Structure 1
């Protein structure tokens, strides 16, 4: 459910409220007449959505960076939120996985029209599910009809139980297909798609997915604080705010900083910082002649070819989402990015073609569309600066 909320929220996003922000970092003070909208966005996450803390990083087209924080980084000690601390990024992991798949497409090792069966014979079978009829493109674009398994593994994640990708796939295949692969007009977000995509990467390369993401994405563009947790790794390696999960009341918050994200794997296990996410998305969107170190022009074009997500103005590409960015009347630009929700943290990150990037994180698992909408609005505020 938490992953679907990250996208359902696109229809529920509302403007952030005007409140005084608590910030740290390079951001200039807001004036009384023109309060900083990013600060407002973080305070909304803390005050309205009850996140203990929130943090953000904004990069303009010239590479200048502003950082923001609000709330506390630890409810017990009341420590301040660390600027650019590491957070679990949830489904933004999908964009990293998609980049690796598309690199392998460019190398001729995978075809977007390849069937799942051609790479993983006999593995993807179930009620209404046939790997012979599902293509790699459909996996990356959520048009395969595969059922989502995330709700079934929440307890495994919270109780720090390791779940291998094959075990997680077995959980998913107990469910019936949502629709036939490639059905016109159908789109259904499912982390199972990226579970299968990750298995294809490992089959084709003969190497672990985590290693491929590190060697093909993280190292080439210098993401110093981004990593894919090792099997059984439950802690966050570097400086980070604590992450929480909300119970039945506003006051009932559980510290879930230490979990086992293995069940989320290719679709949600990674850790990063808001500044690293800005670097990642801004690098990913570089066009021909701009020195894109991640994707060739043909593969980037495929990534940015979208289908309707049934939310006006939004489209689903291959591991990336297009969203409208109306900074002023008559402005019809778009931004490209992804959201993520996992026990402890919620994140939104996006960039524009002209080099701007924005990433926002909250230290509470977003369990409402409103919370994810507020994350998105804070990102848009940063992109419109």
Structure 2
């Protein structure tokens, strides 16, 4: 989920900063001076993320690495491959289920969403009869982003608030379309909220059940789960995540416990770096959808978030400095940012930091540093 990147200075004691940056670790035989470990250390020491975690698979060998501290202000070991909030990585899982339904003949990619959710998608410049399922999954629908209207710029007011999916949709549809369907690309969580409702309408089962059975279990993921209604915790070993209380800056709060219901099919999952890398690996290896539907997922449009980025159906196509590309998603949700994916030649990377870029300094260089660390993990 793309959450507001919070900017501004945070007052911390020198001891607190040293505590957060004081612990680094490498496991599974990885050289502590490896380029990837150096990148994680830099994310902690230079960019001031409390912790960084990575899982890297190359030549059939998986290595997990950590840096920093699991708690801000004191040295607490970061759990190796610990669980984090996965945010918008959830969109890949949701898209996979929709493409499975396409393969089963239950959904048509180029049919209007009106066919499956009649009368639901209406608003100023908004008509479900003119928006296709493909445009939802591709972020070319023009639907306004509901997260812009939930008051998430004041995190403490929504941290423990429960949201119903239809209330989230109403928040989006109360605003005019951003553009005519199919005319441009713009990221909107509303697209995947509707994709989740589509899954429920077609299967007559909860979206969390379908994602669990059709993706999590099929991919063999051991530490990924959809939090049940009312569960604000992260189960199992995990580092704490931190967020600015207000988008204008100021106090940093512990965001580990929060109600993730506003994420839904767009961003509710909890996972680990290795599981996030594994689901992209399973997808590219043809274990989750048939070849025809995987080809549809990899038909891309320009996604001008960063140079060279493109977006398919629930997947970004990201260029690598060493040549080639990786396919994945990534997620931003208060307390955690995750990035990574998989390549055609068998490499896969999952990386997480325990705050959004901008929580402890300038957002842009911190965001670029995270992406650079992912590139290093793939290329060096």
Q: TM-score, normalised by structure 1?
A: 0.88
What SS class does the counterpart of residue 59 from structure 2 fall into? coil
Alpha-carbon distance in 1 for matches of 2:95, 2:70? 32
Q: 1:316 aligns with which of 311, 314, 330?
A: 311
Q: 1:337 aligns with which of 328, 333, 342?
A: 328
* 1:182 matched to 2:188: no
Kindly provide the CA deviation profile for residues 335-379 of structure 1, in whole angstroms up to 9, marking residues without a partner as x.
Answer: 111111101100002110111100110011234233232222111
The corresponding residue for 1:356 is 347
The corresponding residue for 1:13 is none
Q: 1:78: Cα distance to partner? A: 2.5
The corresponding residue for 1:73 is 70
What SS class does the counterpart of residue 301 from structure 1 fall into? helix
RMSD (Å), alpha carbons: 2.2
The corresponding residue for 2:116 is 119
What SS class does the counterpart of residue 162 from structure 1 fall into? coil
In structure 2, relative to structure 1, the CA distance for the partners of 1:260 and 1:247 (3 Å cut) is closer
Q: 1:61 aligns with which of 59, 62, 65?
A: 59
The corresponding residue for 1:97 is 94
Alpha-carbon distance in 1 for matches of 2:365, 2:127? 36
Mapping 1:233-248, distance limit 5 Å: 233-247=231-245
The corresponding residue for 1:15 is none
What SS class does the counterpart of residue 24 from structure 2 fall into? coil
Mapping 1:265-284, distance limit 5 Å: 265-284=264-283
Alpha-carbon distance in 2 for matches of 1:126, 1:55? 42
In structure 2, relative to structure 1, the CA distance for the partners of 1:304 and 1:61 (3 Å cut) is farther
* 1:149 matched to 2:149: no
Contact 1:55–1:360, Cα closer than 8 Å, also in 2: yes
The corresponding residue for 1:225 is 223
Q: 1:298 aligns with which of 275, 292, 299?
A: 292
The corresponding residue for 2:379 is 384
Q: 1:250: Cα distance to partner? A: 8.8
Between 1:305-314 and 1:89-98, the stretch displaced more is 305-314
* 1:129 matched to 2:123: no
Contact 1:157–1:261, Cα closer than 8 Å, also in 2: no
Kindly provide the CA deviation profile for residues 168-217 of structure 1, in whole angstroms up to 9, marking residues without a partner as x.
Answer: 1011112211100011xx11000000001110000000000000000001
Q: 1:283: Cα distance to partner? A: 0.8
Count of residue pairs the alignment pairs up: 357
Mapping 1:32-43, distance limit 5 Å: 35-43=33-41
Kindly provide the CA deviation profile for residues 101-156 of structure 1, in whole angstroms up to 9, marking residues without a partner as x.
Answer: 00000001001011111111111111111111000000000000011111333248
Between 1:362-371 and 1:92-101, the stretch displaced more is 362-371
Q: 1:325 aligns with which of 320, 327, 350?
A: 320
Alpha-carbon distance in 1 for matches of 2:179, 2:53? 38
Contact 1:21–1:42, Cα closer than 8 Å, also in 2: no
Alpha-carbon distance in 2 for matches of 1:227, 1:157? 25
The corresponding residue for 2:17 is none
Alpha-carbon distance in 2 for matches of 1:243, 1:252? 14
* 1:86 matched to 2:83: yes
Contact 1:261–1:269, Cα closer than 8 Å, also in 2: yes
Q: 1:219: Cα distance to partner? A: 0.8
